[in-house]
Structure 1
Amino acid sequence: MWSRTSVRETDVTILNQNGGPSTWHWLVGGAAVVIILAGLQAVSGIVNPLLLAAFLAIASATPLNWMQRRGVPAVLAVMILFLGVGLLFFLLFHALRGAVETMATQAPEYQEQLTIVFGQLREYVVSMGVPPESLPEQIPLPAVGTLTDAAATVASGIGQFTAATFLVLLAFMFLLLEESTLPGKLSVAFPASRRARVRTRRFLRAVDRYIFIKSATSTLTGVIIGTGLWLIGVDFPILWGIFAGLLNFIPTVGSIIAAAPAVAVALLGGGLLDAVLTVALYVAVNVAIGSITEPRLMGRTLGLSPLVVLISLMVWGWVFGPVGMLLSIPLTMIAKLALEAQPETRWIAVLLSDRADERIR
């Protein structure tokens, strides 16, 4: 049996001079995080549909509460959202499949145009004094048949994913039905922890607000980009609008990735003027929505450090694959909001932010 003195000495060795956890605590905690992430990766096939359903449920919580406050029965409100999200999925996948198939048929034209542009660029570089032998004669391009086969594979994969979305929509519906009973469950589960219930509710409200506003602004971004590209005359405007809306969840990096293929198609299909107009459209939309509209709607910046964004993409992409990369920033933001809700961990939330926000402290 240990004496009180030995126990106190052990406690002192565990805690550092400031009364906080020791280095061993951080090492054990880090190892536990790695083990949990590896476990999630092993069951990602099961977790991914539930993760998408949870994201949709959180994004739909605000319109669900709005309908219930206006007298719409809970079951009817859930069915309206279920049908609306299901129709949206169907339209998105149908548009993606059609765009991919059309792109495959137009691949020879783009290859020919790209070859012409490369030849013109090579001639210009040679006229500047660069030795011709140091430049490649032609740009290496895949065969047309390879592009066609790849497009067919992507279209088939989209069709299979469409069939798998039934499980996502089913889980989405049941999560919405659970939303109305969550406050009561928290009260019963933690009857003596009023402060913990208040913090949990504050955290859930912050998550609901962030996901809803980010989803709304991403949808607006996709609609404006798609409409603008259609007016400019860029091919596949619906496809680029969908990409812009989805990748809007990833700050800075997402907008660059979304703009690159659209600018390339605009340059090959319409020339330099269309490419410049496309770049201007992406810059204007991202500045207006990402830098002005979102901070005003959210009340304060919820940005992440660029380094944290990069690490989030790698970590969540490793754990959940493409779904994890798409939802990497929302998942990290949820973790950041959870850290802000606890006074003991707010300093971690400050380090994750893109600036020193005094209101987090």
Structure 2
Amino acid sequence: MQSYLPQTNRSYSTAVQWLLGAAALVIVLGGLKAISHILTPFLLAAFLAIICAPPLSWMQRRGVPGPLSVLVLFSVVGLTFFLLFLALKGAAESMATQAPFYQARFVGWTVELREMIAARGLPAELLPATVPLPATATITGVARDLAGGLGQFTASTLLVLLAFMFLLLEERTFAGKLNAAFPGRRRARVRGRRFLRSVYRYLVIKTAASTATGVIVGIGLTFMGVDFAVLWAIVAGLLNFIPTIGSIIAAIPAVLIAMMGIGPVEGLLVLALYVAVNTAIGSVLEPRLMGRSLGLSPLVVLISLLLWGYVFGPIGMLLAVPLTMIAKLALDSSPQTRWAGIMMSDTAKRVRN
């Protein structure tokens, strides 16, 4: 009896600690959601700064002055944002123009399919009597809002770019500040540098792979004559940050547009293009460049999409996997929390540092 009571007390204490930790997590997430409109621009700026840290170091090693190298990266990133917005605006305007054609083709498909079902003696209730489609005026209004949002783009993106520039300026002195702040904690500094290198490596490789995915998909769709190829290329590049699920979501609209606009054979060719690109880059090239498995469990991916989407909205869903991947790398870098990183992984392989 005496040995049983201490064991019971320890179990009770552990359960209370877990409950308090869960309650603290809920409070933190609620606070993040409340100030998400403030954090989102800085979150985007932080990811841009991490991705641009290697080229910044490369320019500085070749004698380019620090402020000039930051200005160059600021200009390149700003120009890239501007060109992406123009491409999206042009695609939205083109989609608004061709929306009646695709709506008519889709309605014709449903009528033919309903007649085929009736001819085979199957119940007509297998297909709904009417298919809910967005009105052409709605699509045109969205395109008009996007086309007129160029000034709003400049205002909303300026904060992200300014935060990005100041983070790059801070990155030049961050290592020295870390050494000065923790002079007697060499092991902690080594773990911190190892964690930052892992984050740099992951984000740079993932961004390069996503860019390559978007470029190859865009070239292939343009060559096949698929409408809105630039839009589908941007979507494929952005959703490549989401393993497996993102590739499937990105392929669906392009395949449907190809089938309705050109034909079923071309739709299958577009599907084959997506499968080939994502297999070659996501399953072969990325793991080879990463050097070791950095995959997340599919359940963790789904939970991260729901969680970060709830906290930060659409931007949170886009950055959900990179955010969760950074959390996993942070857990892997410490022996005390490595078990949690292993549980988040898609394999049972132990991480070695």
Residue 301 of structure 1 aligns with an amino acid whose one-letter code is S
Once the two structures are TM-superposed, the CA of residue 129 in structure 1 deviates from its matched residue by: 1.9
1:305 partner letter = S
Contact 1:316 / 1:328 at 8 angstroms: preserved in 2? yes
Map of 1:215 onto structure 2:
207
Structure 1: 5+ residue stretches without partners: 1-10
How far has the Cα of 1:76 moved from its partner?
A: 1.6
Contact 1:213 1:298 in 2 (8 A): yes
4+ residue stretches of structure 1 with deviation over 3 A?
11-17, 131-138, 153-159
Measure, in 1, the Cα distance between the counterparts of 2:44 and 2:308: 14
- Aligned partner of 2:26 among 22, 30, 34: 34
Could you say which residue in structure 1 is the equivalent of 2:3? none
Unaligned runs of 5+ in 2: 1-5
Partner of 2:183: 191
- Per the normalisation by structure 2, the TM-score is 0.94
For residues 31-75 of structure 1, what are the alpha-carbon distances to aligned partners after superposition, in whole Å with 9 as ceiling and x for unaligned?
111111111111111100000000000011111112222222222
1:334-353 alignment runs, 5 A limit: 334-353=326-345
CA contact (8 A) 1:346 1:360 kept: no
Code of the aligned partner of 2:215: V
2:214 aligned with 1:225, yes or no? no
Match of 2:254 in 1: 262
The equivalent residue for 2:322 is: 330
Give the letter for the 1:118 counterpart: T
Measured in 1, the distance between the counterparts of 2:110 and 2:302 equals: 32
Name which of 295, 304, 307 aligns with 2:296. Answer: 304
Tell me the SS of whatever aligns to 2:227.
Answer: coil
1:206 partnered with 2:198: yes
Structure 2 Cα separation of the partners of residues 82 and 134 of structure 1: 55
| RMSD (Å), alpha carbons | 2.0
Alignment partner of 1:276 out of 253, 268, 274 = 268
Distance between the aligned counterparts of 1:250 and 1:70, measured in 2? 35
The answer to whether the 8 A contact 1:186-1:197 is kept is yes
1:154, distance to aligned residue in structure 2 (A): 4.3
Q: 1:155 to 1:23 in 2, by over 3 A?
A: farther
**1:140 maps to which residue?**
132
Residue 150 of structure 1, CA deviation: 3.1
Return the match for 1:287 from 279, 282, 293.
Answer: 279
Q: How many residues are treated as equivalent by the alignment? A: 348
Find out whether 1:66 has 2:58 as its counterpart: yes
Q: Structure 1's 82 and 132: CA in aligned 2 closer, same or farther, altered over 3 A?
A: same
Call closer, same or farther: CA 1:276–1:72 in 2, change over 3 Å. same
Question: Does 1:163 pair with 2:155?
Answer: yes
Aligned residue number for residue 5 of structure 1: none
Partner Cα distance (1:201, 1:156) in 2: 45
Give, in whole Å, the separation in 2 of the partners of 1:14 and 1:211.
45
Match of 1:316 in 2: 308
Q: 1:135 to 1:93 in 2, by over 3 A?
A: closer
Please state if 1:129 is matched with 2:121.
Answer: yes
Q: 1:347 to 1:138 in 2, by over 3 A?
A: same
On the 8 A contact 1:114/1:268 being kept in 2, the answer is yes
